[in-house]
Amino acid sequence: MIQGRELSPDRIIVGLADEGIPVAAIARAIKKPSDDVRLILQEALDTGQIIKMPAAEWPHKADGRTPTTERARAYDIDEKAKRLAIAFELHQQPARLLATLMLRGFATSEMLLTTIAPESQSDNLIRVYMVTIRRALAKFAIEIKTHYGVGISISEANRQKINQLIESMEGIEA
């Protein structure tokens, strides 16, 4: 349970898939047949809760695979949020939302909501904060895109631009 919210098995399955966990690994973890998990994920794919179907199984460890993205940790988000709050004159929660996007590049509304207000179930909070963030970034011609029904993203070029702005300010490192 996440601070008053009980997660349904389907929601857990979708969340694990969104993190890149393969279908068979999810099935083993929740003790459901892979076909049942695949059906739940297909419905999530059709409704835009996930962008793509995860792999069927983990790749072999012998192939030398390394993760393509580093998982954002709460400490990383907090440190980044402090710098973003100062640089763009943002309050704590909008800065945490922007920090999450900066570290991930893309996030669903649910991921963002969990980062800033785990007790809330309203996407309106994300919308309100996004208005504040977009207004602050517009001064620097930086855009954040909303992918309706999927999530919110910031391009690599805009992430780099923000990091350069932060680095150029005295006493603040990105």
pTM above 0.75, yes or no: no
Cα(139)–Cα(141) distance, integer angstroms: 6
| 10-41: pLDDT as tens digits | 888 998 998 889 998 898 888 888 889 999 99
Cα(33)–Cα(51) distance, integer angstroms: 22
**Per the structure block, which two tokens stand in for 132?**
């504040």
Cα(84)–Cα(80) distance, integer angstroms: 6
Q: Which is more confidently placed, 2 or 54?
A: 54
Task: Compute the residue count for the chain.
Answer: 174
Question: H or E stretch including 7?
Answer: none
| 125-144: pLDDT as tens digits | 888 999 999 999 999 999 99
Q: What domains does the chain contain, in order, with CATH numbers? A: 9-63 (no CATH), 74-168 (1.10.10.10)
Please report the pLDDT score of residue 2 as a whole number: 46
| 45-89: pLDDT as tens digits | 888 888 889 988 887 543 555 545 445 455 577 888 899 999 999
**Per the structure block, which two tokens stand in for 122?**
């309203």
3-state secondary structure of 5: strand
Please report the pLDDT score of residue 137 as a whole number: 95
